Structure 1
Amino acid sequence: MTDQAIQISVVIPLYNEEESLPELCEWIARVMDENHFTYEVLLMDDGSRDRSWEVIQRLSQENPNVRGIRFVRNYGKTAALQTGFQAVKGNVVITMDADLQDSPDEIPELYSLIVNDRYDLISGWKKKRYDPITKTIPTKLFNAATRQISGVHLHDFNCGLKAYRKDVVKNITIYGEMHRYIPVIAKWNGFAKIGEKVVQHRARKYGHTKFGLERFIFGFLDLLSIAFVNKFGRRPMHLFGSLGTLMFFLGSLIAMWLIGKKIYNIYNLLPYRNVTENPLFFLALVAVTVGSQLFLAGFLGELFVKQAVSKTGDYTIAEKAGL
């Protein structure tokens, strides 16, 4: 099978899911065969401690469309997805969780939305969930904060069931815990046609969840990080230079005002005290010092960005003609 012949790549990150893998792969194969899709399944073993890798090896022998990649230790879901994205060959990439809470029956419609309706990305929305309230309430707050900060209006950023054009996954880079922000990163990289589809959320059949409440804290910090990098990553002087200049001039004005006031009092034989006895003078010096450092940080940031761009030419190209 040639790379061009593969219509769908299914990327499945997993950690200790030996019980669910056979049923999931059989279900995916049945859906693909019924719809006459050419496909591949990439099972990303994120350092499982159970027999997941043995199961993956057996499944790949039984079905040549199933492949596996195993990490030496647990790096996290984002690392598994990023590595899978680098390896996929299909024109449409589907991601889903390995715990059978995502239904492979959604694949044909997700594929159609990407190919026929020409969406760049379709994100699943688990409108009806089977999670405990300790998980659903933080999820709603998290989604609301993400919508407000990112400007991407999706109901469920954390849903693992998503579909992408191949160009999207090949032109984005995710790290840390940024897998839940792929729609945000995709939009900021120019892939603006993002849609949402209500998908079935099934109760967990085997094992237990691998995520705790700390993921929302780390996830929010990652959101602030990518928001900063997107807005100022290529023009750090706009942030650091502006803040530095403002603080420098504000501190300078305060210092000059205090010194000028002292000179005026001396000239008019009025009572005065030393400038250094006024706490405001030291605040002015701090402002001048910090302002200078911020400006210098922005200047150095511009040099690093210029050097990086000149080496990589890191811009997403949509199409070429006559080349």
Structure 2
Amino acid sequence: MIGLSKIKHFYNLFYLRGMSKLSIVIPAYNEEGSIVETLESLYQALQQAEIDHEIVVVNDNSKDQTLSILENLQKSISSLTIYTNPGPNGFGYAIRYGLERFKGDIVAVMMADLSDDPQDLIAFYRLMVEKNLDCVFGSRFIKGGSTHDYPKHKYIINRMANTIIRMLVGIPYNDSTNAFKMYRKNTIEGLKPFLSAHFNLTIELPLKAIIRGYSYDVLPNSWRNRKAGQSNLKIKEMGSRYLFILLYILIEKYLSRNDYLKK
């Protein structure tokens, strides 16, 4: 006899997967050297996995040929949607622009510089559907995770920052600054309004989700340093912005009297 847990498992695998369109929001600023390989590899992987999807690229007012390259790619990538963020500009603003416009039931945030692996995206999606989770987060620093050509000074700052976040917020998740994460559409709605304009959005979204009681799981993911272009992350400029979001999270956790918990 098939147990209830197995029936639920098969329901999630077949019915919910069929009903769960995946959107991928990708911010892009001056990514002419990476965007073609990033989108072509992503599209090919999603097609092979037979996942209903849309790829939403937000051109963050690029000064190079990123936009014209994107427009040309639409001829070969049928699921590609392009927006140009008129401003204000910045990593966080670009993602927020995409999060207001995606059409799927599930949304993932990925980078335009080929640092994230499309196979990890597929694993995230399948886990979310199978377990009916609200969020799936990646960690490069658990068993199975990896980094390639990670600058040493950034690695040290990353591990220190994540240790501080984990201790202060009281969570086991050890890679909050990782941009590669996935959410259900109703989870995104429950995390609004967004406060971050820049890379601090990478910690605002997961920390809000965790303290507000949304279900999540963590999978290992790989990260590769960009092959072309320059990183837009300026560590000296981001310290106070990360601290601002962290302080907000602590205030909400300890003083909001559960007003923002998932209903």
TM exceeding 0.5: yes
Which structure's relative contact order is higher, taking Cα pairs within 8 Å and 6+ residues apart?
A: 2
Equivalent residue in structure 2 for 1:101, among 81, 97, 115:
115
For residues 166 and 61 of structure 2, what CA distance do their matches in structure 1 show? Answer: 32
Q: Which residue of 2 aligns with 1:222?
A: 245
Give the drift of 1:316.
7.0
1:13-56 CA distance string (max 9 Å, x none): 12111121111111111111111111100101122111111122
Q: Which residue of 1 aligns with 2:217?
A: 195
For residues 115 and 6 of structure 1, what CA distance do their matches in structure 2 show? Answer: 8
Give the drift of 1:157.
1.0
Give the drift of 1:317.
6.6
Q: Which residue of 2 aligns with 1:148?
A: 167
SS in 2 for 1:88: coil
> Does residue 27 of structure 2 align to residue 8 of structure 1?
no
Equivalent residue in structure 2 for 1:126, among 134, 137, 140:
140
- Whether the 8 Å CA contact 1:103–1:200 is kept in 2: the answer is yes
State how many pairs are aligned: 236
Residues 222, 316 of structure 1: CA spacing in aligned structure 2 closer, same or farther, 3 A cutoff?
closer
Q: Which residue of 1 aligns with 2:182?
A: 163
Whichever residue aligns with residue 150 of structure 1, its letter is V
SS in 1 for 2:97: helix
SS in 2 for 1:69: strand
1:138-186 CA distance string (max 9 Å, x none): 1111101111122232121111211112221122122224412211111
- Whether the 8 Å CA contact 2:54–2:104 is kept in 1: the answer is yes
TM-score by length of 1: 0.67
TM-score by length of 2: 0.82
> Does residue 224 of structure 2 align to residue 210 of structure 1?
no
- Whether the 8 Å CA contact 1:142–1:220 is kept in 2: the answer is no
- Whether the 8 Å CA contact 1:48–1:74 is kept in 2: the answer is no
Give the drift of 1:227.
2.1
> Does residue 208 of structure 2 align to residue 175 of structure 1?
no
Structure with the higher fraction of residues in helix conformation: 1
Q: Which residue of 2 aligns with 1:277?
A: none
Give the drift of 1:230.
4.5
Q: Where does 1:1-323 land on structure 2 (aligned, <5 Å)?
A: 7-73=21-87, 75-127=89-141, 128-129=146-147, 130-173=149-192, 174-176=194-196, 177=198, 178-181=200-203, 182-191=205-214, 193-214=215-236, 215-233=238-256, 318=263
For residues 207 and 74 of structure 1, what CA distance do their matches in structure 2 show? Answer: 22
For residues 32 and 114 of structure 2, what CA distance do their matches in structure 1 show? Answer: 12
For residues 316 and 140 of structure 1, what CA distance do their matches in structure 2 show? Answer: 28
Higher-Rg structure is: 1
Q: Which residue of 2 aligns with 1:253?
A: none
- Whether the 8 Å CA contact 1:152–1:184 is kept in 2: the answer is no
For residues 51 and 135 of structure 1, what CA distance do their matches in structure 2 show? Answer: 29
| Unmatched runs of 5 consecutive residues or more in structure 2 | 1-17
SS in 2 for 1:134: helix
Residues 230, 317 of structure 1: CA spacing in aligned structure 2 closer, same or farther, 3 A cutoff?
closer
Whichever residue aligns with residue 97 of structure 1, its letter is M
For residues 86 and 97 of structure 2, what CA distance do their matches in structure 1 show? Answer: 13
Structure with the higher fraction of residues in strand conformation: 2
SS in 2 for 1:87: coil
Whichever residue aligns with residue 133 of structure 1, its letter is K
Residues 75, 234 of structure 1: CA spacing in aligned structure 2 closer, same or farther, 3 A cutoff?
farther
1:241-286 CA distance string (max 9 Å, x none): xxxxxxxxxxxxxxxxxxxxxxxxxxxxxxxxxxxxxxxxxxxxxx
| Unmatched runs of 5 consecutive residues or more in structure 1 | 236-313, 319-323
